[in-house]
Copies of this chain bind each other. A is one copy, B any other.
Amino acid sequence: MPQIHRLDSRQADFRTRLDQLLAWESVSDEAVFTTVGDILADVRHRGDAAVLEYTARFDRLEKTAVAELEIPRDRLEQALTRIAPEHRQALERAAERVRRYAEHQKLSDWQYTEPDGTVLGQQVSPLDRVGLYVPGGKAAYPSSVIMNAIPAKVAGVPEVIMVVPTPDGQVNDLVLAAAAVAGVDRVFAIGGAQAVAALAYGTGTIPPVDKIVGPGNIYVATAKRMVFGTVGIDMVAGPSEILVVCDGLTDPHWIAADLFSQAEHDEDAQAILVSPDGDFLEAVAGAMDALLEHMPRAGIIRASLAARGALIRVRDLDEAVAVANHVAPEHLELSVAEPEAMARRIRHAGAIFLGRHTAEAVGDYCAGPNHVLPTSRTARFSSPLGVYDFQKRSSLIHCSAAGAADLGRTASVLARGEGLVAHACSAEYRIDPPVDDR
């Protein structure tokens, strides 16, 4: 049987052991910071020339101009015709469902008028230009292109620029096809910290963007952190996680596969099963054992279960809910008889999968909701990637003459209370008749 932690909420040190299991901190060491800082500064100052040099050095691609690294729209459309028809169909279906769900997330303008004619409101605008980082090589996931680009296009972002490294010129047709399906506007075959720098600062050829989203390795993640402020970034993702709550009545093989579907991502991924039924927990352990031999990524699964996986026995389903809220998992599966009632008691989770039939994997690809979700307990304070991440709000204040006079008096009192006389003066000018101390 695969090695996995076994916890029981009746243990005196349960919470301590659970917290030890959850603890995870990404570490960018000094060397990574220095390397990335140098690349960012270099691209910022030398632009295209620096991008060409780093691409030659890291991806072994020798070009004389960054324009040669642009993958034209034709090439994306061509990829769509090259991939297997079933892949194309699946990508198009996933894109359509993700788009339909995203439409529900659009923010809109609103305003209201007060009795004295003062109008207050909020105006929503899309970002002008967004950069999407897509990892190259083995970790190239077309689903990631769809999940990141579509919400931006639904938000109304006029220009989505994708960067994807193509080491030794190796191009992934599924990724290019996904870019075509998702409506990506331009694609450059660059990667690493140099791609993040190019998007953040712009170069002669690559226009600067307003926000950079998408997953990447430690260099990419560090570069995103360092350019934050110059541009917006999405959250820096930790390892993938799933927490399954089960009453013990779902087929143990289904649950085993669900746990594996996160465990196979990488050695740091976390798969946790919580149930009041101790026999069921062992049945799932047995099912995992049987299933493991069919898994091409068995080595990764074994390592992640041994390091961070857990079978947790709780007293009852109420306690399972408490554990789920404490863990605030990226993916939460409620494999129970009445999942809606339980979901209403969940305060913290990236995505909630209700019922025995809802495999987490459909959420990764095609159910509709985004697969970019808060990890490492950050669901306590953050949300799935969505259309709202590509829109922003401006407050609107339009005072009538009467409103300006009325509000001006209140503002004047508070401004003087804070010792800010210019603020007071600016408000008082709009009070009619003028106040004495002006």
Note all chain B residues with C-beta closer than 8 A to A210: 380-381
Give the contacting residue for A363; candidates B127, B229, B367, B395; CB below 8 A: B395
Asked if A215 is at the interface of the complex by the 8 Å CB criterion, the answer is no
Bound-state CA distance A154–B275 (Å) is 36
Chain B residues whose CB sits within 8 angstroms of the CB of A381 once the complex forms = 127, 210-211, 231-232, 392
Evaluate contact between A232 and B366: CB separation under 8 angstroms. no
User: B429, A127: Cβ atoms under 8 Å?
Assistant: no
- State whether A394 touches B346 (Cβ < 8 A): yes
Number of copies: 2
Q: How far is the CB of A146 from chain B (nearest CB, A)?
A: 9
Please, which residues of chain B bring their CB within 8 A of the CB of A408?
A: 359, 362
Question: In the complex the two chains form, what is the Cα distance from A370 to B264 in whole Å?
Answer: 45
Q: Is the CB of A410 within 8 A of B379?
A: no
Shortest Cβ distance from A358 into chain B, in angstroms? 4
A295 beta carbon closer than 8 Å to chain B: yes
The proximity string for A residues 402-438 relative to B, scoring 1 for CB distances below 8 Å and 0 otherwise, is: 0110011011011101111111111101100000000
Set of chain B residues within 8 Å of A401, measured between Cβ atoms: 357
CA distance A379 to B394 in the complex (A): 8
Pick from B89, B297, B357: contact of A400, CB under 8 Å: B357
- Beyond A120-B368, A254-B429, A383-B394, 4 additional contacts (C-beta under 8 Å) are A120-B367, A353-B398, A361-B424, A365-B414
- B contact residues around A417 at 8 Å (CB): 87, 90, 142, 174
**Do B295 and A380 touch (CB < 8 A)?**
no
Residue A55, interface by CB 8 Å? no
Instruction: For A374, give the chain B residue with the smallest CB separation.
Output: B392
Instruction: Give min CB distance, A139 to chain B, whole Å.
Output: 9
A residues with CB within 8 A of B: 26, 86-87, 89-91, 93-94, 101, 104-105, 110, 112, 118-120, 122-123, 125, 127-128, 138, 141-143, 174, 210-211, 229, 231-232, 236, 251, 253-254, 257-258, 260-261, 263-265, 291, 294-297, 301, 332, 339-340, 343-344, 346-355, 357-370, 373-374, 376, 378-384, 386, 388, 392-401, 403-404, 407-408, 410-411, 413-415, 417-427, 429-430
Contact across chains for A427 and B382 when beta carbons are under 8 A apart: no
Partner of A413, one of B86, B118, B410: B86
